[in-house]
Structure 1
Amino acid sequence: MTARITRNSQDSKSDILRAALEVVRRSGAQGLTIDAVAEESGFSKGGVLYNFPSKDALIMGMVQFLAGQFEAEVGAARARRLGLECPTLQAMIDVTEGWLHEQRDLAQAILATKATQPDLSEPFVEVKARLKAAIEAETADLGRAWAIWASLEGLHFSGAHCVSVFSEDERAAIFKDLRERLNKNQT
């Protein structure tokens, strides 16, 4: 019986986090309130607060949820790329390209809250440390791998900071080039 309660509690948290992400996607960081999340999720305000006792806890939960989602998507994409050189970096290219389309507004909103919560990026730093270790085990050409990763980070952060100067077509050309660079030495 305990396992069922835990699973249901985890499902409730996930439902609340998905609702919170939708509120942020639709209304930006300024629209994120416990009341808005309660309305979006269908939970009472007390139900939201039971799972996330403060707005800061909710924001941290959102970041942890997104970091886990990113890592899971990279893992799934990696499994499809196992026959290629450096499948983890191959997967990161694929997932980053998708996230620039689907999650850009969330990155912008979460970035806005970073000033008041300096440890907000820790879940992503932990995920990226694991990804870095996987890449180190998969390729001898770390200079090329890090240059490709740095390009991915640059594209992501320029989008999150609303300073990207690349059109959709230009960004697609960049991703194509990164894939070609990564696969350049493969026979």
Structure 2
Amino acid sequence: MLFSCTRGRKSSREKILDAAAELVGEIGAGRLTLDAVAERAGLSKGGLLYNFPTKDALLQAMIQRMIDQVAFEKDALRKQAGPGPNREARVVTKTLLNFCCGGKMQDMATGMMAATAENPSLLDPVRQVISTTLEQLKANSDDLDSALLGWLATEGLSSLEMHKLSPFSEEDRERIVKAIDRLVSKGIAE
């Protein structure tokens, strides 16, 4: 389970999204069927269709849930972030590194990328988040060059890891992450 309601019982919608996320991680979004999701969620297909009338509607909800999870994490990190330069860049890079590299989120994100090849408009909410992030970095960075380079480096590392293409050892990755942190914390000028 990636994200669930803090209340006791999960709603049918949450069960469906959890089941779909598990299946996407296992078989990919391209091979995902509504029947398989309904079975995994322990619901009838009619119950699934009530919540998500199409596969695209289900995929859109999965993408939105990932966006919401990242936003929640970003808000939590923003509250914890100490003062200093490029606070927003530090929050954004740490969030990306926490969320997008490894585990269930990585498997699901990889599977979702395959689905967006068939329907690129599924990524419209992600495009909006990226635009908003850029605007926030521009508005809230003491050293915009450092903030942008740190964000771009983190996105690149995350992308390599998400697609299981990273050539870096754990030691290399650790060094890169520390360099990104230094960059966004201290800036290019130093």
The TM-score range, normalised by the shorter chain, is 0.7 to 0.9
Q: State the 1:82 CA deviation.
A: 4.3
Q: State the 1:16 CA deviation.
A: 1.5
Q: Answer 1 or 2: higher relative contact order, Cα 8 Å, separation at least 6.
A: 2
Aligned to 1:41: 41
Taking the aligned partners of 1:83 and 1:41, their CA distance within structure 2 comes to 44
Aligned to 1:68: 68
Q: State the 1:117 CA deviation.
A: 0.6
Aligned to 2:95: 95
- Which runs of 5 or more structure 1 residues have no equivalent in the other structure? 1-6
Aligned to 1:172: 174
What TM-score do you get using the length of structure 1 for normalisation? 0.85
Aligned to 1:56: 56
Aligned to 2:137: 135
Aligned to 1:109: 111
- Which runs of 5 or more structure 2 residues have no equivalent in the other structure? 1-6
Taking the aligned partners of 2:84 and 2:102, their CA distance within structure 1 comes to 25
Q: State the 1:64 CA deviation.
A: 1.2
Identity score, percent: 35
Please state which structure has a larger fraction of its residues in helix. Answer: 1
Aligned to 1:77: 77
| Contact 1:71 1:127 (8 Å CA) reproduced | no
Q: State the 1:113 CA deviation.
A: 1.2
Q: State the 1:27 CA deviation.
A: 2.7
What TM-score do you get using the length of structure 2 for normalisation? 0.83
Runs of 4+ in 1 over 3 A off after TM superposition: none
| Contact 1:34 1:55 (8 Å CA) reproduced | yes
What one-letter code is carried by the residue in structure 2 that aligns with 1:71?
A: A
Q: Secondary structure at the match of 2:75?
A: helix
What one-letter code is carried by the residue in structure 1 that aligns with 2:77?
A: A
Q: State the 1:26 CA deviation.
A: 2.5
Root-mean-square deviation (Å): 2.2
